[in-house]
Amino acid sequence: MSHQATHHAGSHAAEVHPEVGHVVPVKYLVGAGVALLFLTVITVAVRYIDLGEANLMLALAIAVVKATIVALIFMHLRWDRPFNLLVLIGSIVFVGIMLAFSAMDVHQNSPTIFNGNAPEAESVMQANAPGAPVAQIRSTNGGVGSSD
């Protein structure tokens, strides 16, 4: 078993060592916590700077870094069996597949979808209330296929 209590930190020589699992040194844990708090501050600050599209990318990049820290240190993956890491990455990849294919579809066909202003939605909806006369829709949207 590869990861029996082999201890790297040295400074904890007096400590009890469990038969299984890995004891993460305090300095790693606290360091990870501090880094996470720091990155949170950064990501909030970046929001107020206008970088266009890059804002989203940057915010997500920071989130990925934070998630990696949590996974590797707090969740012990750095010392754990590689297969557990594979399980984590695998699940993310499959979310990615679902996202990529659905997003590709939406990207392709959104120009052909109605996406305009609702024509006086409230009045239409009220006209739809039970017992009301048949609803009227006044079409004010740009119409289908206005994508060019």
Partner 1 sequence: MTTIQLPSPGAISDTIEARPESDNYLTHTRGILSWIFTLDHKRIGVMYMWSVLGAFLLGGTFALLLRTELLTPGPTITDSADTYNQWFTLHGAIMVFLVIIPSIPAALGNIIMPIMLGAKDVAFPRLNLFSYYLWVTGAILCIVSLSMGGFDTGWTFYTPYSTTTTAGGVIPVLTAAFVLGFSSIFTGLNFIVTVHKLRPPGMTWFRMPLFLWSIYATAIIQVLATPVLGITLLLLIVERTVNIGIFNPSMGGDPVLYQHFFWFYSHPAVYIMILPAMGIISDIIAINSHRAIFGYRFIAFSSIAIAMFSFIVWGHHMFTSGQSALMNTLFSAISFSVAIPSAVKVFNWIATLYKGSVSLTTPMWYALAFLFLFTIGGLTGLHLATLSTDVHLHDTYFVVAHFHYVMMGSALIGMIGGLHHWWPKIFGRMYDQRLGTIACWIIFIGFNVTFFTQFILGSQGMPRRYYDYQPEFQIYHVISTIGSYIMAVGFTLTAITLFGSLVNGKKAPANPWGGRSLEWQCASPPPFDNFAKAPRVGDCYDFTVVHWDPKIGGYRVDESNDPEVNPAAQGTKAAH
Partner 2 sequence: MSQTTANEHTTQADHAHGHDEHAHGHDPHLAHHFDSMAQQFDSAKLGIWLFLATEILFFGGLFVAYAILRMRNPEVFSYASHYLDTIMGGINTCVLILSSLTMALAVRCAQTDRRGGLIVCLVLTFMGAIGFLVIKYFEYTHKFHDNLVWGSSFYVPPHDAEGHAEAMELKTAPTAVTAITVKDPTLFAIPDLAAKPAVDVSAVKSASVGPVGMARASGAPAPEHAVAPAPGKSEEAHPGTHLEDPKMPPNTHLFFAIYYCMTGLHGVHVVAGMGLIGWLIWRSVRGDFSSKNFTAVDTGGLYWHIVDLIWIFLFPLFYLIH
Mask of contacts with partner 1, 50-89, x by CB under 8 A? ---------------------------------x------
Residues 6+ apart with CB under 8 A from 29: 73, 74
Amino acid in the structure at residue 54: A
Structure tokens at 69: 């820290």
- As given in the structure block, the two tokens for residue 97 are 């597949």
By a kind-dependent CB cut-off of 5 to 8 A, residue 104 interacts, out of partner 1, partner 2, none, with: partner 1
Residue of 1, 10, 82, 148 that binds partner 2 (CB under 8 A): 1
**Which of 38, 94, 88 shows the shortest CA–CA distance to 66?**
38
Stretch that binds partner 1, among 10-18, 26-34, 63-71, 96-104 (CB under 8 A): 96-104
Which of 34, 101, 123, 147 binds partner 1 (CB under 8 A)? It is 101
Closest to partner 1 by CB, 51 vs 97, is 97
| Phi-psi map region of 145: left, alpha, beta (phi>0 left; psi -120 to 50 alpha) | left
Give me the least distance between CB of 27 and partner 1, in Å please: 32
CA distance 88 to 122: 46
Check residue 114 for interaction with partner 2 (CB under 8 A): yes
Q: Which 23-52 positions form the footprint of partner 2 (CB under 8 A)?
A: 23-24, 26, 29-30, 32-33, 36-37, 40-41, 43-44, 46-51
Q: Which of 10, 16, 82, 148 binds partner 2 (CB under 8 A)?
A: 16
C-beta contacts of 33-36 below 8 A and 24+ residues apart: 35/69, 36/66, 36/69, 36/70
